[in-house]
Structures are given as C-alpha cells and as structure tokens.
Chain A
C-alpha cells in the first residue's frame, strides 16, 4: 500500500508561520539593505514553492526510493528517474540559489526563510533532498574559499542543477579521525594535482542526475605534515572541463561499491576510488584536482561546509521527526478503537485513539520534541543571518559565538530526540507502524543516520565539552547563558503563573549548568571530562530546548495570545510538557558529572 502524502502530514504550516513571523521576526530582516527587496509576501510565496514541490515531486517517490536502492550498472550508479525530475524542478524554480546573492543569480532570501522552506523537502524525501543539500553546501564553500575561476566554472552550473556536489572526507581507516586521512595529492606542472586514494561514505558520489559532479576532497600534499594540519582541500570534477565533445573527459574517479544502508536508501552512498587508473585523463592515471584555498587549510575550509552541514543534519532530523509526528497525529485522529474510560457498553461506537490517555501522551511528547527542535534549527538559521547582516560588528560577533556553541546541540539534539519522536510515532500506529505498508517505519530508519553522519553524537560531545565551553575564554558559553537568562526574565515579566513557574525552573537549570561548565573547564583530568561529555551535551541540549520553548511561550504571552485559539493553547501545553516532564532529566544527567564521577573513565577494556 502506498499512502498519498498531504502537506499537513509533513509539517504544520501554521507552526512555521508562527516561528518565522511571530517569534523570530523574519519580516524585520527586510529593513536591512541585504533583504530590502523582500517582504513577507515574497517570503510566503517562496515557502509556497518549496511546499508545493515537496508534496508534488519529492514525497511521492520517498517510499519507492527506499524500496529501489541505487544500483551500479556498467560502472555507473543509477537511481530511480523520479529523483532527477524532482531535482530539475527544484533547480528550475531557482531554489538551489534561493539564499545566494543576486550577483550569483540568487534570490537573496534570508537563510532563515530558505531553511524553513528546505525543511519541507527534508520532510518529504530526505534522500532526494540530500543531493541538493550537499550541492548548496559546496556552493557556499566555494564562494568562501574558491578562486574566481573555480567560482565561475562550477558555482553557476551547481546553482542551475547542471552539476551536483559531494564532500569527501572519510576513508575506511579514518572516519571520525580525519587526521589519519591518507589520500595523497601529487603536483602537476600546471599547478593542478593528481589525487590517489579511497574515500568512504560518499553520499551522491556517483549518479546520472546531472551532467557533472564536483567532489570536494581532503588529501595530503607531498611533504605535508602528519595529522589534520597536513590536509588540503581539492576540487575534483567527475568530468573535466572542456576536454571532450560529449561534455567533458572522464576524470580518474571510479565507484568501488555501494554501501547498503538501513535508511536514506534513495541517495547512493559510495566508496570512491581516486586515481586507480580506471580512467586516464591526459593519458595518465590519477584524479585531477584543483586546490581550494591554501595548502594545509583543508580542514578549516571543509569545516565551513561541515558546520553548515551539521545545522542541516539537525534540520533534517527535525523534519523527519516532524513528519512522523504529523503522520501519527493523523492516524490517531482517524483510527477508532476502544471506548472512552468508564464506558462499559461494548456495542457503543469506538473512539479515535487520540482520546486514549497514553496515545495523547505520546503525541504530546512528539510535539514537544519536534516543534522544539524546529524552533532551535530556525533560531540557528536566524543567527546565520545575524552573523552576515547584523548592523554592528558586536552583534555579528555575538551571533557567530552563539552559532558556534549551538552547532553541536542543533546537530545532536534533534538527531536524538526527533528519532525518539519517530519511535513514538511507530508506537502510536501499533502493529501497523511496524509494517512497511505505513511510512513511519521508514522515517525511523532514515532518521537513525543523523546521529552518525557529519560528526557522530560522541564527536559533538567532545567538541562541545573539549572546545566550545572554553572557547573565547568562555565568552560563547556566556553569551548563550545570558540569552537564556534574558528569556527567563522576560517570561517572569509576562505576569502569568505558568510562565513564572517555567522561568524559575529554567533559571535553576542555568545556574547548575554554569557550575558544571566551570567545573569541566577546570577539570584536571581531561579523561574524566571526555568520558562524561555526552551526558553534558545532552543536559545542555535539554536546557537549550527548554529555553527555546520558553522564548516562544514568552512571545505568545507578550502578544496576549495565550487563549487566542487552539494553536496557541497547544503551543503552551507542549511547552508545559517539556518543562514538567523533560527538563527534570537535566538534573539526573549532571548529578554524576558535578561529582566528577570517574566510573566510565576508570573502566578498562579487559573488564568488559
């Protein structure tokens, strides 16, 4: 059975409208010179295009892509034809260039609006959206670090969909440990390089969706030092420019195999071999690559893309979680089973299962997770706009610091808790949810990836505890905690008992986290800090989501809309759920951390 998807089964348009205009003030961005030609009307029209294309062209082949994995035929990877159709429409509508400046053929939309629109595609079909996601990230990297020639040759084709992009970091022996990358780059007389090595987990590494593919590859130049500092970044096109009549001579990049995944099956995940002589451009083996940025600056360049990718991973996790929630909500409203409590008449009509207390609980938990996560993702997108366009240098720096410290949280929290939302969505469906006839089982499998790729959950925790907490002398953490305190203060000022209760709860958590952070930064045993890093990240994550929920509730309260309609009542109830049932988890997570507990650190390999 194939289910027809409606917009309301993916995201709640009203929720997005609320977040953009009533909470994050998207319309206020139009006062800035960069967005002066826009208005709420153009933002809404752009969002409408995203949702239409998502519903019409992305959602219908989500299940087919899952059931029809990419194949290798004659050394090339093929995907189902619907992928190319959907991406062509996406590009023709100008969405690949939505947030780019008009000088690059873009619409110059705020990142906030562009990401809100992109969430529709991720909810509809995260695998097909992945092609576009990687390409947009490649464009941003090249615009920031590429030479004028690289920008001219590749950015335009990528923005119009003639060319798609990949990011090639991992190798079979070097996944999270990028310093061990072994791919080497040998210089050529014309300044380009020939690359030799194997890359692992390369999404969209090969396909015929577009004329060309641009691989951005981390490799080690001759005589480069060991470790991450010896890595440089190279642009390696699948087809070399202007060298053959049929669209370019093939570069020496070949597909060694496909990884067969649990989810995200619609986008090929490849093992790519560079320079094994499968193709011999200019008569020799070796994949021709062009240095991007400076030698030895590969990782900083790549992390320009990686940080963006991490925010997008969080958004993707959120979108899949949100779609699961909306599916579960729809199902619970329609599925009639059992009677209302106290009704002992077996011949009476069964009630929709949404009326049963535990189903209601599971739906409310999902709502609290996915709407909280979406709010955090859009808050971070707004910070990107602040970082780029805020009026003063100070405001831009603050936005940059906040974005830095929130990046591991926006990547990891939705990956963990929106997966839990997908888990609950299956539970709401009961046995049907465990069958492939219903979409929610695929959502769960798809979402499971997000805690792994673009830096695992553990890597995010190490980054958060080992780097972000002490960055700029703790200024980033200070900025975050200040914002949280400001929200608590504003919530207290609304004058309702409910918001006052939440403000007190958040203030208490802020003080405990402040203490924990100080203790971690001064921890003389880094092994203990690292062993306890994940609970710390998760505790901060829950506190941040509570703050984001309270900030939204405060906006509702400030506008006097607490009881304006069911939408606002539902928002405040979800906020209340998070504060009363989720925020208390923070204490359990950090109790042992505060004591400097060394249980995990002291465990040895032979004791297992």
Chain B
C-alpha cells in the first residue's frame, strides 16, 4: 500500500511570537519550527499501517528550504521518501489554494491512502485535508481516532462530540484526517538520521504543478487579542446579585 502523508511545519508551540511591523505576519527570523502535531500522528498511523500491510510511506511538505528539517525528521522516523513542494512564501495562499497545490502534488504519486493531520496548530482552519479529498475525488473521513485496513477497505473510527464515536467503512483510495493523541509517537533514532541522508527527497515547484496560488481571501492584519479586566459591582440583595450573575454568565460570558 502506498501511503502519502501531508505534513506541515509550524512555529514551535512554545515560541514567543512577534508581529512584523507591517502587521501582516509574524516575525519568522528567530523562530523555532516543528512538525504540526496532528501531522505527526498522521505519520505515525502511516508507519504503523506499513508495518502491518507493507508498502511505502511518502511524506509531502510545502514550504521554504527550512522545511527540510521537518522532512528529514519524518524520514529519520521511517518514511521511505519525500516530496518537497518548494514555495518560499505561503502566507498569502489561502486554504483552498494550498489544498489545490497539495492535491496536484499528491496526484503525481497516485497513492492508495492519503493521511493528513486534522488541522494545523498555527492557522487551525481544519479544511486542507477535506478540500484535498474533494479535489482528488476521494472518499474521506475526518477526526480519525484509528485507521485499519480490513478486507481491502478502510475502517475508520471517527470522533464525534459528547464522547460519541462513529465507525466508517470506505473503499481505497481514500483520504483521512487524523486526530492528535491517538497513538504513541515514535522518536527518530540516530541510525534513522543516518539512513535518512540517503533517502530520496523529490523537489517540485508550484509552477511545475500548475498551481497558481491566487489568493481567494486577503489577509489584512494580524494582531494579538487584548486582554481586559473589567470589574462590575453587582447591587441588590444576595438573591438579586445571584440572579444577575447567572444572567451574565449565560448571556454575556456564555459559560453556562
């Protein structure tokens, strides 16, 4: 089985983020980067499926030269080869155009299964995988807690709300977006790092894929939310104050 895993490099989760003077993006110079967490679980799921059923795992990552460290880490963990879509500035690509880019790149591999993380830790749209599936004409499942291959079909356990789950059976090829925390992640090994040096990393550009990256949305400004402390004194009897408090918690703060 040929499994393609779309991974994304995102700022390390403990980074201190500063906004560029233009207000359009964050300062990237001094940032540390890491693999998007749900994508790490997608890779782990792919590696475990390969261990059970054979085949190969290909990782696909779009971004500038710095994403090669994330690609190398995936190869060191056991992916067989990689596809690096070279694009220096993805900030103006909206989720539709990114999905189009990834879908076109994925189609060059004709995979049996495409896995992506549920969403990215930086932008958090949660749409890329789903749009990719539509563009590729693949059946898909989201919020996957487990993925099995049973009698040539996929059996996917999906998370619903309120502690409910749903089992979905679908034919291959297919696309599944993976939830975080579903497996125990493996670490790269030093021997894996050595082996990764000789693994193929195919480089391709958006132009070669015929993907334009025309933005469908315009990013005008990013800003840190302001935290405000507003104290309100409630008047009246204890019962009246309690009633007012409940009213505010229900309709203003919306926590009950």
**Chain B residue with the shortest CB-CB distance to A44:** B69
Residue of B14, B68, B187 near A8 (CB, 8 A) is B14
Q: How many angstroms from the CA of A6 to the CA of B187 in the assembled complex?
A: 18
* Min CB–CB distance B59 → chain A (angstroms): 15
- Contacting A at CB under 8 A, from B175-193, are 187-191, 193
Whether the Cβ atoms of A107 and B30 lie closer than 8 Å is: no
Q: How many angstroms from the CA of A7 to the CA of B33 in the assembled complex?
A: 12
Q: How many angstroms from the CA of A191 to the CA of B196 in the assembled complex?
A: 47
Contact of B72 with A by CB under 8 A: yes
Q: Find chain B residues with CB under 8 A from A97 CB.
A: 190
Residue of B14, B29, B187, B197 near A42 (CB, 8 A) is B197
Whether the Cβ atoms of A94 and B72 lie closer than 8 Å is: no
Q: Find chain B residues with CB under 8 A from A224 CB.
A: none
Contact of A434 with B by CB under 8 A: no
Contact A42:B30 (CB < 8 A) given known A6-B14, A48-B73, A49-B189: no
Whether the Cβ atoms of A45 and B73 lie closer than 8 Å is: yes
Q: How many angstroms from the CA of A45 to the CA of B104 in the assembled complex?
A: 30
Contact of A152 with B by CB under 8 A: no
Query: Chain A's interface: helix, strand, loop or mixed, by majority?
Result: helix
Contact A93:B12 (CB < 8 A) given known A42-B193, A44-B69, A45-B193: no
Contact of A13 with B by CB under 8 A: yes
Contact of A190 with B by CB under 8 A: no
Whether the Cβ atoms of B189 and A567 lie closer than 8 Å is: no
Residue of B13, B14, B72 near A41 (CB, 8 A) is B72
Whether the Cβ atoms of A93 and B189 lie closer than 8 Å is: yes
Q: Find chain B residues with CB under 8 A from A208 CB.
A: none
Q: Mark B63-93, 1 if CB is under 8 A from A, else 0.
A: 0000011001100100000000000000000
Whether the Cβ atoms of B187 and A107 lie closer than 8 Å is: no
Residue of B30, B187, B196 near A567 (CB, 8 A) is B30
Contact of A151 with B by CB under 8 A: no
Contact of A14 with B by CB under 8 A: yes
Interface size range of chain A in the complex: 20 to 34
Whether the Cβ atoms of A45 and B69 lie closer than 8 Å is: yes
Whether the Cβ atoms of B187 and A46 lie closer than 8 Å is: no
Whether the Cβ atoms of A92 and B30 lie closer than 8 Å is: no
**Chain B residue with the shortest CB-CB distance to A98:** B190
Contact of A302 with B by CB under 8 A: no
Q: Mark A41-62, 1 if CB is under 8 A from B, else 0.
A: 1101110110011000000000
Contact of B32 with A by CB under 8 A: yes
Contact of A28 with B by CB under 8 A: no
Whether the Cβ atoms of B29 and A46 lie closer than 8 Å is: no
Whether the Cβ atoms of B193 and A46 lie closer than 8 Å is: yes
Q: How many angstroms from the CA of A18 to the CA of B191 in the assembled complex?
A: 26
Q: How many angstroms from the CA of A42 to the CA of B72 in the assembled complex?
A: 9
- Contacting A at CB under 8 A, from B11-68, are 12-16, 29-30, 32, 68
Q: How many angstroms from the CA of A37 to the CA of B194 in the assembled complex?
A: 8
Contact of A101 with B by CB under 8 A: no
Q: How many angstroms from the CA of A97 to the CA of B14 in the assembled complex?
A: 30
Query: Chain B's interface: helix, strand, loop or mixed, by majority?
Result: loop
- Contacting B at CB under 8 A, from A3-25, are 6-9, 13-14
Q: Find chain B residues with CB under 8 A from A42 CB.
A: 193-194, 197
Q: How many angstroms from the CA of A39 to the CA of B68 in the assembled complex?
A: 14
Contact A89:B190 (CB < 8 A) given known A7-B12, A45-B69, A45-B72: no
Q: How many angstroms from the CA of A8 to the CA of B29 in the assembled complex?
A: 17
Contact of A565 with B by CB under 8 A: yes
Contact A92:B190 (CB < 8 A) given known A45-B69, A565-B30: no
Residue of B12, B187, B196, B197 near A92 (CB, 8 A) is B187
* Min CB–CB distance B44 → chain A (angstroms): 14
Contact of A95 with B by CB under 8 A: yes
Q: Find chain B residues with CB under 8 A from A39 CB.
A: 197
Whether the Cβ atoms of B76 and A45 lie closer than 8 Å is: yes
Q: How many angstroms from the CA of A48 to the CA of B75 in the assembled complex?
A: 14
Whether the Cβ atoms of B190 and A49 lie closer than 8 Å is: yes
**Most A Cβ at <10 Å: residue of B12, B15, B69, B188:** B188
Q: How many angstroms from the CA of A349 to the CA of B191 in the assembled complex?
A: 53
Q: Find chain A residues with CB under 8 A from B13 CB.
A: 6
Contact A13:B32 (CB < 8 A) given known A8-B14, A45-B188, A92-B187: yes
Q: Find chain A residues with CB under 8 A from B16 CB.
A: 8
Q: Mark A563-598, 1 if CB is under 8 A from B, else 0.
A: 001110000000000000000000000000000000
**Chain B residue with the shortest CB-CB distance to A117:** B190
Q: Find chain A residues with CB under 8 A from B15 CB.
A: 8
Whether the Cβ atoms of A93 and B29 lie closer than 8 Å is: no
Contact A7:B14 (CB < 8 A) given known A42-B197, A94-B189: yes
Q: Find chain B residues with CB under 8 A from A52 CB.
A: 187
- Contacting A at CB under 8 A, from B200-232, are none
Q: Find chain A residues with CB under 8 A from B188 CB.
A: 45, 48-49, 93
Q: Find chain B residues with CB under 8 A from A8 CB.
A: 14-16
Whether the Cβ atoms of A107 and B194 lie closer than 8 Å is: yes
Whether the Cβ atoms of B190 and A565 lie closer than 8 Å is: no
Contact A92:B189 (CB < 8 A) given known A6-B14, A37-B194, A565-B29: yes
Q: Find chain B residues with CB under 8 A from A14 CB.
A: 30, 32
Whether the Cβ atoms of A49 and B30 lie closer than 8 Å is: no
**Chain A residue with the shortest CB-CB distance to B18:** A566
**Most B Cβ at <10 Å: residue of A41, A45, A52, A93:** A45
* Min CB–CB distance B93 → chain A (angstroms): 27
Q: How many angstroms from the CA of A93 to the CA of B189 in the assembled complex?
A: 4
Whether the Cβ atoms of B187 and A53 lie closer than 8 Å is: yes
Q: How many angstroms from the CA of A57 to the CA of B230 in the assembled complex?
A: 41
* Min CB–CB distance A21 → chain B (angstroms): 14
Q: Find chain A residues with CB under 8 A from B72 CB.
A: 41, 45
Q: How many angstroms from the CA of A42 to the CA of B69 in the assembled complex?
A: 10
Whether the Cβ atoms of A93 and B30 lie closer than 8 Å is: no
Q: Find chain B residues with CB under 8 A from A89 CB.
A: 187
**Chain A residue with the shortest CB-CB distance to B14:** A6
Whether the Cβ atoms of B190 and A46 lie closer than 8 Å is: yes
Q: Find chain B residues with CB under 8 A from A9 CB.
A: 14
Q: Find chain B residues with CB under 8 A from A37 CB.
A: 194, 197
Q: Find chain B residues with CB under 8 A from A41 CB.
A: 68-69, 72, 197
Q: How many angstroms from the CA of A8 to the CA of B190 in the assembled complex?
A: 23
**Most A Cβ at <10 Å: residue of B29, B30, B191:** B191
Q: Find chain B residues with CB under 8 A from A44 CB.
A: 69
* Min CB–CB distance B97 → chain A (angstroms): 30
**Chain B residue with the shortest CB-CB distance to A48:** B73
Residue of B32, B191, B196 near A94 (CB, 8 A) is B191
**Chain A residue with the shortest CB-CB distance to B13:** A6
Whether the Cβ atoms of B30 and A94 lie closer than 8 Å is: no
Q: Find chain B residues with CB under 8 A from A13 CB.
A: 32
Q: How many angstroms from the CA of A97 to the CA of B16 in the assembled complex?
A: 34
**Chain B residue with the shortest CB-CB distance to A7:** B14
**Chain B residue with the shortest CB-CB distance to A566:** B30
Q: How many angstroms from the CA of A41 to the CA of B196 in the assembled complex?
A: 11
Q: How many angstroms from the CA of A41 to the CA of B14 in the assembled complex?
A: 23
Q: Find chain B residues with CB under 8 A from A94 CB.
A: 189-191
Q: Find chain A residues with CB under 8 A from B69 CB.
A: 41, 44-45, 48
Q: How many angstroms from the CA of A45 to the CA of B190 in the assembled complex?
A: 8
**Chain A residue with the shortest CB-CB distance to B12:** A7
Q: Find chain A residues with CB under 8 A from B68 CB.
A: 41
Q: What are 19 A-B contacts with C-beta separation under 8 Å?
A: A7-B32, A41-B68, A41-B69, A41-B72, A45-B72, A48-B73, A48-B188, A49-B188, A49-B190, A49-B193, A52-B187, A53-B187, A92-B189, A93-B189, A93-B190, A94-B189, A95-B190, A98-B190, A107-B191
Query: Which 8 pairs show the lowest CB-CB distances between chains A and B?
Result: A6-B14, A94-B190, A107-B190, A45-B193, A93-B189, A8-B14, A94-B189, A93-B187
Besides the known contacts A6-B14, A41-B72, A45-B193, 14 further A-B residue pairs in the complex with CB atoms under 8 A apart: A7-B14, A14-B30, A37-B194, A41-B197, A45-B188, A46-B193, A48-B69, A49-B189, A49-B190, A94-B191, A95-B190, A107-B193, A565-B30, A566-B30
